[in-house]
A and B are shown apart, each in its own frame.
Chain A
Amino acid sequence: MRKYFLIIVNMWDEIFTYRLSFAMWRLRNVFQLLTIYFLWASLIPKQSVLFGYSQSLMLTYVIGTSFLSAVILSTRTYEIGDNINSGNLSALLLKPINYFGYWFAKDIGDKLVNISFSLVELFLLFFLLRPPLFLQTDIVPLLFFIITICLGILLYFCIGSLLGMIGFWSPEVWAPRFIFFILIGFFAGILFPLDIFPKPIFNILQLLPFPYLLFFPLKVYLGQLSMPEILKGISISVIWIFSLTYIMVLVWRKGLRMYTAYGN
């Protein structure tokens, strides 16, 4: 376990090597949050309800997506494709370390840095904007909220790794990721909660893995789901995680047989 712990620590050093770049990245996150925050604050005046959301619930949702993006969507798996294409994978294969364990540890390091900064930013914004936040006090939704976050982390890791492994077959690893970011932005519920869609579309979306990254955990936090709905959502997330893990292992084995390690 110590070696994975060291990878996590090294991730901090790696991020802070390019401090200005990281600061700009965080600044971007703040502006992205503010864009959506002010948009919804203007669209739903106090005492009004739109799409079944009061201003308080919507702004909690918006701030929640920002925080959960730091927890769930911050990742280093986007480097897997370059790692394969550059031939650096060979060096990792020779080390007594699990390849996915290595990337998961890097993910944890990245998440810890992003969570720390996100908390500070949200704390500052809270004091500047004084948003009417909804605070969940019931322990049951809070427990399920933590469970759904953990599932979201695993789900995103599987999807990110699979996208990275495109590198075994194509040097073009950024284009699929670009389209994936756009899909995530829309179908994970970053711009708006997905239940504002008409019911039939929303029902179809619930079968995809994307809503379980941000939308579902936040709905659990807001206490807007019944117990059967929570259990249904958790079941779908677990099915997706198992299916994607299985596919990930298959793709990894197939990819390794294709790997030619040029560049080293």
Chain B
Amino acid sequence: MEIKKYIKLWWFFARMTTKVAFQSRFGAIVFLIGKLLRFVFFLIFLILLLTKTNVIAGYSFWQVIFFFATFNLLDTIPQLLWREVYRFRTYVARGFFDYILIKPVSPLFRSLFGGSDILDFSILLISVIFLVYAAGKIDITVFGVIGYLLLLVNALLISLSFHIFVLAMGILTTEVDNAIMLYRDLTQMGRLPVDIYLEPIRGFLTFVIPVGIMMTFPPKVMMGLLSGTMLIIAFLIGISLFLFSLFFWNYAMRRYASVSS
């Protein structure tokens, strides 16, 4: 029943946010074009690069495109679902968070899912098309696809954990905007497989940040290039980060001081 209620609520919030976004159709369309351009521009860069090098870190053209499409998918889904995080600073700084707290809804759910951006769905669609097309051009197995899907879920769990960390930090310091953009900047390092980076950067990106686990591991398992040990480590890191983010959120909530008065 609880899950049903929250799905209904999410749908309600998403519809309301879409209506607000379309109040200024000009803005909505321009933002959408901007996102499409960002996707196309990096694709052009990759094509330019691969016309000269043929391979990047041992990966062929379509494998690189598959990495990039996976990155886009994992970059877009969190923006689509957890867009409300980008507005969270205002809620805390102006005291609106008090209104969220008095509602019979989990404040974490409301702060994460309260403003899903349906506009990002078009970018998501493009990523999926690229993903499927590129997957058709590389050798894949059924086990690879299952592993890929599981690691996508794991990557989303890591992303969700970072979003929760940012929310908790927002409660403690009111700093949200740059923190969430910092997360985005870090994940940009996963637009290409982290294998292109030299050690110790590669190790740092894989296990410390962990952009590699999020962006590089899923395509690698699909291509049969990831060991079982790495798969287990990836899930362990994903689950640990998620549990720790929940702990940090609860810690921050106990220290929330309203400013609305």
Contact = CB atoms under 8 A, between A and B. Distances in A.
Do A and B originate from a single complex? yes
In this complex, which of A31, A35, A50, A51 has the most chain B Cβ atoms within 10 angstroms of its Cβ?
A35
Contacts of B181: 24, 28
B201 A39 contact: no
A199 to B, nearest CB: 13
Interface string B24-52: 10111011011001100110010011001
Contacts of B101: none
Interface residues of B, number: 35
A176 B28 CA distance: 10
A42 interface: yes
B16 interface: no
Contact of B52 (A25, A28, A38, A50): A50
Interface string A18-37: 00110011011001101100
Nearest to B41: A186
Given A176-B30, A191-B45, A24 B178 contact: yes
B196 A42 contact: yes
A139 interface: no
B182 A38 contact: no
A21 B170 CA distance: 11
A27 B185 CA distance: 10
Contacts of A25: 178
Interface residues of A, number: 33
Contact of B45 (A21, A175, A192): A192
B175 A31 contact: no
Main secondary structure of the interface of B (DSSP, over half): helix
A43 interface: yes
Contacts of B189: 31, 34-35, 38
A157 to B, nearest CB: 22
A244 B49 CA distance: 34
Contacts of A231: none
Interface stretch (A2-10, A72-80, A177-185): A177-185
B197 interface: yes
Interface in A65-93: none
Given A27-B178, A35-B188, A182-B38, 9 more contacts: A28-B178, A31-B186, A31-B189, A32-B185, A38-B196, A39-B196, A175-B30, A178-B30, A182-B34
- The 3 nearest A-B residue pairs measured at CB: A24-B178, A175-B30, A172-B27
